[in-house]
Structures are given as structure tokens and as C-alpha cells.
Structure 1
Amino acid sequence: MLSATEQTIQPCPQCGTEIRTDRRFTTWCAACDWNVDPVGPETRPGRLERARRRLAQRYGERLLAEMSAGTPRRPRRDVAGVLAHAIALCVHGVTVAMAVGGALLVVLGWGGALPVLGAFLLALAWLLRPRFAKLPDDAPVLHRADAPRLFALIDEVAAVAPTGDVHAVAVTADVNASVYPYGIRQRRLLTLGLGLWEITAPQERVALLGHELGHYAHGDTRHGVIIANALRSLDSWRYLVTPIRNPGAIEVAMNALYLLPFLAVQGVTMLLDQLTLRAAQRAEYLADTTAARAGSTEAAVALMDRLLVADSAEAVLLRESNARQVRGGGASREEAARDLWDRLAAHVESIPENEYERRRRAAALHGHSVDTTHPPTHLRRACLLAAPPVPAAVTADAEAVAAITAELADARLELARHVVRG
């Protein structure tokens, strides 16, 4: 129940229906959708992004229908996946060819300008090289000895997926979570954002782990080191050869020189998108089914709702940081840091149901325009609800929750201090 200071009552200016809402959030009308999306459409995206959104829309509608009818299995021999890997290897082959050619020009080309060209090719190959992620040095990193109960929970969820082990957990202040490989040995790092972890219930956290680990069980080709690095290299190419806007006389000539390489890079990028976007979106839906199996359908759906209000949680963290910058004071900051995550959880818990509903409707208007590699959250939620409900395979009991909270205590305080320091 909203307090008198929080509640507003007014007629809808469009249809006249009485609107009761929380003054902390957007005022809108559930009867006619007046002001359901006050931000409106974003600025017009570039050509490549428009193409990605068209693909995402096309694949998203088909996948939702398939998932609602029954979970599709990934084909043993996915032709699109094989072609995508072949193209990605060609992209890496160009980088290798530049590195080898540049080295030969530097070593064998003395006496002319060839070493300069060779050095340029080596620098370009270095810029485009495949990169292996590293353990972060700006966030607390936990290993099995540091957090045995947390890793035990992760192992239980990984067995449900099923997939391999997580080797390290990086704790951040973000309202997000992810799993990705790091190092040459491609071990797995779980990045756990406290901004999301702290606003979810225990079973929702199990569902969150199930979703992230589920990517590795359902053939998400974009998570693979070959295709991920090829897309990164293509982005670097696009940055280097994109025509200059509002060119001068000399820049017109440079743009003419860039035109063919730019079209080639744009074409390869669009083709790789064409071959991998469907698999990426399908992997998201299938990862959601893993989330439901691990934590229960109810928990997975609740997690979708928390994701809908992620930007509200981010706004709270930013507001807390700005407030401490204005007020200052070491004692004040320390006190604020100690209960930061509790205040964040209390804020999210106080968000009324009509704000969740507004965000679902606004998400439906945006469709696939927010993130082309992920189906819209409201569709993922609807897909979970359309399937027969499943119970939790992994249960986070009170003892486990308390133990994990104790293992994260130092990281919670360290990151809270970082937030309030700005």
C-alpha cells in the first residue's frame, strides 16, 4: 500500500480514466497506454544496426513461436554455425597474413621503403589480433578456497545445465551478471554484479546462475573464442575504414580509398550476423529454460521482472554516489557504504506492480531495438509462462544463503565503498 506522500491520483488526459500511481515513477494510463513510454524512440541507428534489428525482429518472432510450441533442439550439424566459423577463421587468416607479411617485409626489405610498410602491417595485425580475457584487476576475484559454499551452489547449477565448472568469480557493483572464458586455457569466469545479486531472492539467484551457465550448454556461437574475436576484429576494421563525415578536400580522396574496404568489412559483418543472430537469440531462450530448471519457473519469471527494473537499480547506485560526492565526509561515506546494498534491495522491493506492467508494455513497443542479440525481456518472460511450470532442481536453503552472504561480505563492503566514493 502506497503512503499518501507517494501516491498520486489524476484523470488520464487522453481517456479520462482515474490514474493511481507512485509519484516516484512514471505516471501512465493502463486503460489507453497514455505515457507508457515517455522516452520514446531513440535516435536513428546506423545502417548496420538497422540491418541487425531487422534480422533480430525476424528471427525473434519465429523463435518465440517455436519455443512456445516446444523447446527446439540445436541441430547436430548446424550449417549456419559451420559457415560462421569458416568466415571467422578467414577473418583471423587475414590478420595472420598481415603479421607474416609484415614480418617478412621488415626482415627482408632493407634498402627501401618496404620495412616501413612491414611495420605498418605488423601494427595493424597487433590491433586486430585475437584477445583472451584476463582476470580483472579492478574487482574482487574469488576462488574456490575463498568461497566454498558459493562455488558449491555454482557446481550444483552447472550439473543441471549441464556444463563445465566455473574457475573464478569476479564480484562487481554492476546490475548484471555474465560468464566468459579467460586466459589461453579458456577457463571460465563468472562475473557477479551485486547490483543484480542483491535485489534478487535466493531462488532467483539460482535461476540467474542457471541462465548464465546455460549459454555454454546450448550452442551460443557468439560466446565462442573464434567468432567472438572475429566480430571484435571486424569492429576494429570498421572503425579504421569508416568514411570521414563532412570531409575536406584531402579527406574526400581518403574516403574514396576507404570505400571498397569499408563495403567489404560491412558485408562480412552483416553475413556473420546473419549466420549467428538466430543462434544467439535461441541460446537466450534455451538459457532461460535452464534457469527455470535450476531455480524453478516461478524464480526465472521473477528474475525477468528484476531485469525489467535494472535501470532503476542503476539510477539508485548513481544517486547514492552523487549524493556522497556532494555531502562528503569520511564517516558519512562509511555509514552509507555499510547499508548501501540493503537500501538498494529495499528500493527495488518497493517498486509497485503497475510500474513493472508499464515497463513490459514499453518493452513491447521497443521490440528488438534495445539489444539485437537478446530477445526482449517481456518475450522471454512470456515464453517461460507459456511452458509447463517446473520445480527447482537446486534449492538455496537458509544455511547456504547465510554462508554465501558471509563469503561475499568483504566484497560487498569494498564495492559499496567504491560506489559511494564515486
Structure 2
Amino acid sequence: MDERYVEWCAACDWNVDPGEPDPEPGRIAAVRRRLAREYGEQLSAEMERGADGSGPQARDATTALAFGVSLLVHALTAVLLVTGVLLVVLGWETGVQPVVGVLLLALAAVLRPRPVRLPKDEPVLYRADAPRLFELIDEVGTAVGTAGVHAVVVEPAANAAVTTYGLRQRRVMYLGLGLWEILSPQERVALLGHELGHFANGDLRRARVTAGALHSLSVWSYVLAPTDPRQLLDRFVNAAIFLPRWAVYGLLLLLDRLTLRASQRAEYLADVSAARAGSTEAAVGLMDRLLVSGSVEAELRREAVAAQMRGGRGAREARDRAEQGLWERVAAFAGAVPEREYERLRRAAARRGHSVDSTHPPTHLRRRCAAAGGPHPAGVVHDTARAAAVSAELAPARAVLARRVIRDHAG
């Protein structure tokens, strides 16, 4: 028995999940997690029966109501903006109104929908920087029925995502090396297919109007959070904001209910895109790798701590050695995980309702749907030569991020 892995019984599930239960999330996160499990199970059953998750009329009504609630939230931000301007411009004689106006303008500035900006502290690749990578992304996009992206942000995290940035809403993909490096070539195609599938299939929760409203409501929830009642004034303030706080909470729950099911459906459809692009086998393999993503993050931290353990004159050389081959060691770490451990993780995930976050369907349900939806052959073949060419284009980013992982954690 390998001491790195948990000893458990496959027949009776003894010790299948020996870790501590997930920490209790906040009220909103707990509701989202419950809805994610509920909708995930419902949609999983519907997808496995061959349905796409809901009828078009129901989706249209839900979308219209979600956009209506979102516009109401944005209208409130607009009211704050206009009121703030009027108080500043017309209230100079009182001396108090301009101060209140500035506070309202500051709050409106925080609440306003803002376009995503590309990070300045992460490697950003454009088509001229990595033509083979963008060629692969374009081919996967064609396979799933959409276009490619304008930029790729390379990160150390064991994750991936897509969104839009700037006023022109250009597409960007966030590619986490912690996940990319532990995948096989076809699993990488499946990952690209899943992320681009969000553009192809749409996602109500990611729409600019609803995403901005969710952001605004989250800010309101934070601003109106009750304070510790240590003084009489604290109790008065908590009482004064009681009704607004619960109104915001109710709107946030309503918008969550209107968008979470559509978001869950979008995840399942993105998994279908992953299977069509990379093959059913690759999509299922991708789900398994997501189960060890937390272990990959821990391994990156362990590498950094090990590098800093050697102090003195040899500290710099130790960090240099740790940076060299970091991603290869991470891939070897994930590649050494035996099938028995993956099976344990799958069973533990089913017990806990594991998901990437509180808005995703449980991973074990996504894996089951991906396996039941095929078999799909590979729509895009990512052979050894092509994988080597893409890896060479990512080499500068890999070196920069290896240095950051080691030095930031060891610093």
C-alpha cells in the first residue's frame, strides 16, 4: 500500500472519505451549493434521457425575468449616480449634501458594471506570440460551433476559464498551467472544447447584464452586512439597514434561482462540447483530473516550501533548481496517482457533492453525463508533434510562472 494514498475498502466504502467535512459556507454560498446539487441532479437525469435540460419556452421566460431583475438592480445604481450628481451640484449651500453626494457617487462607482481588464501581472499571449496554440483553439472552436479567442492569459492555477474583456467584449481564455500540464494531449483538447463551449452554448449567468447585477447585489450585501453590536449606535444602524439588507438578500436569491439552472445546463452542454472536440474518453479523463486539482495546488505549495527550507548561501541555488522542471514534476505527481485513488476520489466527491465552485454541477454527475453522452470520437486530434509545438510556445510563460510560484511562496 502506497502511504501517499488513503487506505480504504472498495466493497463497503470504509474510510473512503476520511477528511474533515467541507467548512460551512456563508448563507449565500450555502444556498448556491444546495441549488447546485438540486439542479445538477435534475439536469443530469434530463441530459441522460437525451433532453437538453429544459424547454425553450421555460428558458425564454426565465431569461426575460432574470434580465428584468438585473435591469432593476442597474436602475438603482443609476438612481444613486443621478442623486449623487444633483446633491453635489445643487447642495453647496448646505455643506452636508455635497458630502452625501460624493458618498453616493463612490458607491455607484463600486456598483457599476465594469468590463474585465487583462491582468498586468500574468503572461498574456496573442496570436503572434503563440500561432500554433491559437490554431488549435480555432480548430476546437470550429468543432464546437464557435470562434476562437483574442488573447490567452496563462496562470499557475489548476483551473481554466473564458470571459470577455474591454469595451469591445473581446474573448479571452484563462489557461491554468496547474491543470494544463497534468492533462494528456486529447484531454487538453477536451478542456479547450469545454471552455469554448460556453461561448457556443451561451450562459445566462455570464451575460453582461446579469453578471453585473450579481456583482452589484454582492457589493450591496457586503455594504449592508450587520456589524458587531458593541455599542448602542451599532444596534441602531443594524436596525435601520435590516429591511434593505433583506431586500438585497431576497433579490440575490431570486436572481440566483433564475440563473443557476441555466448555468448548470450550460456546464453540461460545455461538457458535451468537450467530448465532441476531444472524444468522450478525453472528456471523462478531464473530469477525473479536476478531482486532483486541489492536490496539484498543494503540490505547488510543497515545492515552494521545500525550496525555501534551505537557507544561507545555497538558498538561491535551491530556488533555481526548484524552478527548473517544476511543471514536469507536477505532471509526474498527477500521473502517478493510481486508478484506485481516482475511484476513491470519485466516491468521496459523490458523497460531498464536490464541484469546481458553488455554481457548477457536482463533478461526479458531470463525469457520468459525459460518459453516457457518447461515444464521441475525437473531433480534433492533438498529436505528439503538435503538442510539442504548443509546449514550445508556452515555454516562456511556464518559466515566468515557475519562478513566481517558487519565489512568491518562498519569499
**Would the TM-score normalized by the shorter structure come out above 0.5?**
yes
Identify which range, 131-140 or 292-301, moves more after superposition.
131-140
Distance 1:388 1:128, change over 3 A: same
Deviation string 1:198-257 (CA, Å, 9 cap, x unpaired) is 100100000000001111122211111211111111111000101123543221111001
* Offset at residue 409 of structure 1 (A): 0.8
Partner residue in 1 for 2:132: 149
Aligned to 1:17: none
Whether the aligned pair in 2 keeps the contact of 1:53 and 1:368 (CA below 8 Å) is no
Asked if 2 retains the 8 angstrom alpha-carbon contact of 1:135 and 1:182, the reply is yes
Query: In the TM superposition, what are the counterparts of 1:37-186 in structure 2 within 5 Å?
Result: 37-72=17-52, 75=56, 78-112=60-94, 113-186=96-169
User: 332, 336, 355: which is aligned to 2:322?
Assistant: 336
State the alpha-carbon separation in 1 of the partners of residues 386 and 355 from structure 2: 39
CA spacing shift, 1:245–1:35, aligned 2, 3 Å: farther
CA–CA separation in structure 2 for the residues paired with 1:25 and 1:246: 47
Instruction: Tell me the equivalent position of 1:27.
Output: 7
* Residue in 1 that maps onto 2:403: 417
CA pair 43-145 structure 1, distance change in 2 beyond 3 A: closer
State TM-score, norm by structure 2.
0.94
| Cα deviation code 1:273-321 (max 9, x no counterpart) | 1100100111110000000000000000011111011111111100001
For 1:298 and 1:368, locate their aligned partners in 2 and report how far apart those are by CA, in whole Å.
21
Q: CA 1:63–1:73 in structure 2 vs 1: closer, same or farther (change >3 Å)?
A: closer
| Identity over aligned pairs, percent | 57
* Cα distance in 2 between the residues matched to 1:339 and 1:185: 39
User: Over residues 117-142 of structure 1, what are the superposed CA-to-partner deviations in whole Å (9 max), with x where a residue is unaligned?
Assistant: 21111111111111211111111111
Q: SS at 1:327's partner residue? A: coil
Look up the match of 2:349: 363
Q: Distance in 2 between matches of 1:324 and 1:397?
A: 35
In structure 2, which of residues 256, 280, 286 is the aligned counterpart of residue 303 of structure 1?
286
TM-score by length of 1: 0.92
How many residues are treated as equivalent by the alignment?
402
The alpha carbon displacement at 1:27 in A equals: 2.1
Q: What is the distance in 2 between the residues matched to 1:191 and 1:285?
A: 20
Letter in 2 for 1:408: L
Hey, what's the Cα distance between the residues in 1 that align with 2:51 and 2:258?
20
Q: Is the 8 A contact 1:308 1:360 kept in 2?
A: yes
Q: 1:391 matched to which residue of 2?
A: 377
C-alpha distance in 2 between matches for 1:179 and 1:417: 25
Correspondence for 1:403? 389
Q: CA deviation at 1:162?
A: 1.4
CA distance change for structure 1 residues 271 and 370 in 2, over 3 Å: closer, same or farther?
Answer: same
Higher mean C-alpha deviation, range 295-304 or range 33-42 = 33-42
Structure possessing the higher relative contact order (Cα contacts under 8 Å, 6 or more residues apart)? 2
Q: What corresponds to 1:15 in structure 2?
A: none
Point out the more displaced range, 392-401 or 203-212.
392-401
Q: How far apart are the structure 2 equivalents of 1:48 and 1:201?
A: 37
4+ residue stretches of structure 1 with deviation over 6 A?
none
Residue number among 171, 180, 197 corresponding to 1:188 in the alignment? 171
8 Å contact kept, 1:28–1:36: yes
